Amino acid sequence: MRKYMRKRRKDAQEREADKARSRAYYDRNKADLLFRNALLRADAAGAILPWSDTPCLREVYAQAAVTGLNVDHKIPFRAPFIEIDGVRVRQVQGLHVVANTQLLTAEENIAKGNAFDPDQAADDLMDFLRREGLA
Map residue 37 onto helix, strand or coil.
helix
| 6 pLDDT above the threshold of 70 | no
| 121 pLDDT above the threshold of 70 | yes
- What's residue 20's pLDDT? 92
Number of continuous H segments (helices) and E segments (strands) in the chain: 5, 4
Mapping DSSP onto H, E and C, the string for 48-85 reads CCCCCCHHHHHHHHHHHHHHCCEEEECCCCCCCEEEEC
| 4 pLDDT above the threshold of 70 | no
- For 46, the domain range is 2-131
- What's residue 68's pLDDT? 93
* pLDDT above 70 coverage of the chain, percent: 92
Contacts of 128 (CB under 8 A, 6+ apart): 99
pLDDT tens readout for residues 30-55: 989 999 998 888 888 888 878 777 88
CA atoms of 130 and 117, how far apart (whole Å): 20
> What angle (nearest 5°) sits at the alpha carbon of residue 119, between those of residues 117 and 123?
115
- What's residue 67's pLDDT? 94
Handedness of CA 27, 21, 43, 77 (dihedral sign): negative
| 5 pLDDT above the threshold of 80 | no
CA atoms of 121 and 75, how far apart (whole Å): 7
pLDDT tens readout for residues 49-96: 787 778 889 999 999 999 999 999 888 877 777 777 888 877 777 888
Number of domains in the chain: 1
